[in-house]
A = this chain, B = another copy of it.
Amino acid sequence: MKFLSGKELARELESELQRQAASLASGGHLPTLAVIRVGDDPGSEIYVRTKLKSAQRVGITSLERHLPVTVSQQELEETVEAFNADPAIHGILCQLPLPAKIQLERIVERIDPLKDVDCFHPENVGLLAMGRPRFLPCTPAGILELLRRNEISVAGRHVVVLGRSNIVGRPLSILLSQKGVDATVTLCHSRTARLAEIAREADILVAAIGRPEWVGADMVKEGAVVVDVGVHRVEDSSKERGYRICGDVNQAEVAGRVSAMTPVPGGVGPMTVAMLVSNTLKAAFLQTQPRYE
């Protein structure tokens, strides 16, 4: 069984992206990412820090706008508008989750589609679904890149995706079945009947359901490749810090059956961050070299 580590590959990707960033900078366009963070969610803080560090390693300037949890819808939208209007900013990302009173959809739709490095804007989701993506959604693209760099082919193979979220499952199912990627994709979810049976047919199984260690050995075909998108903190009194990090897959149970599997942490996560950085460079190209698209 091979662990598909994303850490080293993400660093590899970063060093490739450095060249793009340098080429932009030498043309007088310093690629720049603006991150909006609201409130003091500790997870958000860590995620944002990780993203900004990766951007920095690649040669992307970044700025973080930290807003209080009491921020109004209007203030948030005005922040986005200001970044839209600023030609020195190429990518805008609003770290989730946002406070419950904020209408996320209206924020996402306010972001200039050319600066939408998360690929959450309807126009960018639509272009992806139509087979001519402007940006690739970060986690799905990170998964694809992780498989590709491990020489795990998806073309013609049966991929079963567990979970239909707008951030992972849905766009991943779309991306994998595009022409040129050519996987045969089954998208499963909480209402799927005979889920274990369907999952067992997968050559490649992607777990993105958001339940700790939910995928057991009964859901995995012998020799399959398993991609684990979940990240959970579960209590564990045997650990000094009182918890451990796990994914959506019961890795201890599954490890003996699969041919390859992503670790948690250090699997899909670092690749997601690298794809965000890649999207920021693409955004900078799109805005500074209009013929690029």
Contact of A184 among B129, B156, B158, B193 (CB under 8 A): B193
Q: Cβ of B166 and Cβ of A131 under 8 Å apart? A: yes
Q: Cβ of B170 and Cβ of A129 under 8 Å apart? A: yes
Rounded to whole angstroms, the CA-CA distance of A153 and B184 in the bound complex is: 24
Rounded to whole angstroms, the CA-CA distance of A72 and B192 in the bound complex is: 49
Contact of A155 among B125, B130, B171, B191 (CB under 8 A): B191
A286 proximal to B (CB < 8 A): no
Q: Cβ of A184 and Cβ of B182 under 8 Å apart? A: no
Contacts of A188 in B (CB 8 A): 184
A9 proximal to B (CB < 8 A): no
In the complex where A184-B193, A186-B185 touch, is A158 in contact with B198 (Cβ < 8 A)? yes
Q: Cβ of A105 and Cβ of B124 under 8 Å apart? A: no
Contact of A158 among B105, B156, B185, B193 (CB under 8 A): B193
Against B, the Cβ 8 Å flags (1 = close, 0 = not) of A173-188 are: 1100101001011111
Contacts of A123 in B (CB 8 A): 122-123, 126
A157 proximal to B (CB < 8 A): yes
Q: How far is the CB of A182 from chain B (nearest CB, A)?
A: 4
Rounded to whole angstroms, the CA-CA distance of A111 and B158 in the bound complex is: 37
**Secondary structure at chain A's binding surface: helix, strand, loop or mixed?**
mixed
Rounded to whole angstroms, the CA-CA distance of A129 and B187 in the bound complex is: 13
Q: Cβ of B105 and Cβ of A156 under 8 Å apart? A: no
Contacts of A130 in B (CB 8 A): 122, 125, 166, 170
A132 proximal to B (CB < 8 A): yes
Of all chain B residues, the one with the shortest Cβ separation from A131 is B166
Q: How far is the CB of A172 from chain B (nearest CB, A)?
A: 12
Contacts of A126 in B (CB 8 A): 121-129
Contacts of A194 in B (CB 8 A): 158
Q: Cβ of B158 and Cβ of A177 under 8 Å apart? A: no
Contact of A189 among B128, B174, B184, B187 (CB under 8 A): B184
A164 proximal to B (CB < 8 A): yes
Of all chain B residues, the one with the shortest Cβ separation from A174 is B129
Q: How far is the CB of A282 from chain B (nearest CB, A)?
A: 17
Using a CB-CB cutoff of 8 Å, which residues 241-290 of chain A contact chain B? none
Rounded to whole angstroms, the CA-CA distance of A153 and B105 in the bound complex is: 31
Rounded to whole angstroms, the CA-CA distance of A174 and B185 in the bound complex is: 12
Partner-B contacts on A (CB < 8 A): 105, 121-132, 155-158, 164, 166, 170-171, 173-174, 177, 179, 182, 184-189, 191-194, 198
Q: Given A164-B179, A173-B177, list of 12 further CB < 8 A pairs?
A: A121-B126, A122-B122, A122-B124, A122-B127, A131-B166, A155-B191, A156-B193, A158-B194, A158-B198, A164-B177, A173-B173, A184-B188
